[in-house]
Every structure is written in structure tokens, then in C-alpha cells.
Amino acid sequence: MADSVFKNVDSAPPIQVFQLTKLFTDSTDPKKVNLGVGAYRTEEGKPWVLPVVHTAELQMANDLTLNHEYLPVAGLPDFRIAATQLLLGSNHTVIAENKVESFQALGGTGALRLGAAFLKNVMNFNVVYVSDPTWENHKGVFQAAGFSDVRLYRYWDSESRGLNFRGMCEDLSNAPENAVIILHGVAHNPTGIDPTKEQWEAIANICKEKKLFVFLDCAYQGFASGNLDEDGWASRYFADQDLDLFVAQSFSKNFGLYNERTGNLVVISRDPKKLTEVRSQMEIQIRIMWSNPPNHGARIVTTVLKNSAYFEEWKGQILIMADRIKKMRQELLDNLKKLGTPGNWDHITKQIGMFSYTGLTEKQVEYLKSKSIYLLSSGRISMCGLTSKNVEYVAKTIDEAIRAYPRSVL
């Protein structure tokens, strides 16, 4: 048989978060816990279809006016409008002054990729800064779009397990003009540490003074604090600052639409007259990437956001998810304190959102995995994987790992 054209193709390294899910699924240990998955789980450890999402889907299924025709290239118009108003607030100045445009995308990742393609192919930008650490996909998305200069700005202070604000500001201040700065709009992934409002103001000032291009990644609006307005504060503040900027918006977490790939790229322009040209160029980028966006998830979101009763119901269900995560943070901390686990663990409840950056070392992580507790090698855990039934076991195993593999600072 002739050699395959693929004979020199090597195996790529596994995608860690999905590899963890496979290890969890394959495990026969009754005590197994998946702390890697970036998706909400109930107290029983099960996926949750939001009741309001189910209601919207039933309504859509019985609406004989709906069809499966192509959407406009930019996406479902009602979705784009409703999503943008949710992000910025319906009365925001940039909306009133027609300084905003939006484009439906394939989840938050698709919004980032679309924005990156525009910035590289149309604007000829080539330098992008991401936080250290950041969501594992940020670097790859921008590199795939053609960015060859991906840099880090300091963010996590391992000693205090908080924000290295001084280091962050120094690095942004030294960034070149037109560098793209990826900022996490709320619930930083993986650290769960966000700047204060005063710190956000200082960051915005640096971006303005240094003429940096801000690209906010807003994947957790409502999911972090349980309050849509509070979680949208940073995005709204930056939109107030007379800046050109992008915001990548995702509905995977706050609607539980993980596999529907429902996202939105919000574009804010200081000059509203230029948005016509921006839209024309953005649609070219869309055409060569996914050509036309999917309808189902966008229609669900639109149905909920445009119906006042559904909207109020949805806000209540967001609060249920956010409150359970906060409860698990507190229970984990309480159990570690009860065990007298070496070190200060208060950062677990100071962090917000889905993830906690525990500070565990790779050896300690490996110990947890040997006990069928699956988490990323960085020590990041998804609080959604904890339940009242398994949190004591997880805390006990963390305590064992700390004592078995101590380090000087924990």
C-alpha cells in the first residue's frame, strides 16, 4: 500500500479540559469528581437546562412562522440588538448616538476570532497582550488569525493570590501604540480575581493615554455576581470612555447554551459614520469563516430577552446558579479551615465566578488526580463540580496533597 500523504503528521497534545472529562467519564471510582469542566452543574452534579430556555424552545417549536432560511451575514437582527442592550444597558450613550454595531458569532470564541481576524486583516495590527495567566484559548485564537507577536501582561500575584495591579499597569504602560489588550470583563478566567472599579478606571486611563486597542472578553455577565448590571460594569465603563473597542459576548454560561455556540461581537466606534465601512469589512471576514451564523441559540436568547416575564424568570435562574457557586466556595473554605490545612485559603471566597485559582502545585494536582479528582495542572478548579456531597472529600484530599507535597508559600 502506498504511503499516505498524512504519514508525517504528528499527534497534537490533548486539549486538557476535554481530556479531564474523558478521564472522569472512564473512571469507575464512585468518589470521582470533575473539577475541570467549564459548565454549570446542579447540586446532583448534573447539567441544567434552564427552565426558561425550555419554555422558549417549546414556544419556538410551535411557531409556524419560523423557518430554516439563512440569516443575514451579520446575524439575527433582533438578537444582535437585544444582546448589545443587555451588555451595555438599553439607554447607554453609545447606543443613543449610534456608535455601536454588533455581529452574531459562534460563541465567545467565535466573537474573539472574528474580532482578531478584522484587527489583523483589515487594521494590520500584530501585537496582542493577554493576561498572565489567561484562558488557554486566547493565545491560539489570535495566533490563528495571524498575530505573530503575543505578549503577556502581569496579572496574578502568586504570593498574595490576588491581582498584581502594579505589574499590570507597568506592562500596559510599556505596550506599543495600537497593541490589542485582551481584558476579562468580569470573573477573570482562570483566577477569579477582577480589578476594583477604581482599578478599572486607572486601566482605562492607561489604554487611552497609550492609544491601546481594548478588546473585552465578557463571558460571564450575570453568572459571576448574579446581577447583570454589576457584571456588566466594566464593559459599560469602557464604552463611556470615548474609545474604539471590541467586546466579545457569550451566552454559553448565563443561558447554559454551551453547544449552541451563541455569541456576539460588539463594536464601538468613536466615529459613528465609520461603522458602515466596519460592517462591510466585518461581513467579509464572517463570509470566509462561517459564512452564516446558526439560528437556534440566538432565537432562544432573543425570545427570552424580548419577553419581560421570561426575562425576569431568567434573572432568577442566573441568581440560582451564581448563589450555588458562592455556596460551594464557602463550603470548601470552611472544610479546609476545619481540617487545619496549612496556608491561607481565604482567596477561595474572595475570587468570583465559575473558577478558582487554588495555588496548588502540579505535584499536588497529580495527587488529587490519583484520588479521582480531576482538575487542570495549573490548579484551576471549576466550582460547579463541587456539591455538598463531595466537597468534604475534595477538601480532605487537598489537605492530604498539601501535607504530602508542601511548599514554602501556600
Pairing relationship of beta strands 162-163 and 156-157 according to DSSP bridges: antiparallel
Torsion over CA of 83, 86, 92 and 95, rounded to 10 degrees?
A: 10
Segment 214-232, tens digit of pLDDT: 999 999 999 999 999 999 9
Q: For residue 356, what pLDDT is reported?
A: 95
Q: For residue 350, what pLDDT is reported?
A: 96
Of the candidates 8, 27, 10, the one whose C-alpha atom is nearest the C-alpha of residue 374 is 27
For every residue of 72-138, DSSP letters joined together read PTT--HHHHHHHHHHHH-TT-HHHHTT-EEEEEEEHHHHHHHHHHHHHHHTT---EEEEEES--THH
Q: Which residues contact 217 (CB under 8 A, 6 or more apart)?
A: 108, 112, 135, 138, 182, 183, 184, 185, 247, 248
Segment 155-211, tens digit of pLDDT: 999 989 999 999 999 999 999 999 999 999 999 999 999 999 999 999 999 999 999
Q: For residue 408, what pLDDT is reported?
A: 47
Q: What is the pTM of this model?
A: 0.95
Give every residue of the chain whose pLDDT is below 70, as ranges: 408-410
Determine if residue 105 is left, alpha or beta; phi over 0 gives left, psi from -120 to 50 gives alpha, anything else beta: beta
Asked if 36 and 385 touch (Cβ cutoff 8 Å), the reply is yes
Q: For residue 410, what pLDDT is reported?
A: 41
Active site residues: 135, 217, 253
Segment 11-41, tens digit of pLDDT: 999 888 889 989 999 999 999 999 998 899 9
Q: Is 349 helix (H, G, I), strand (E, B) or coil?
A: helix
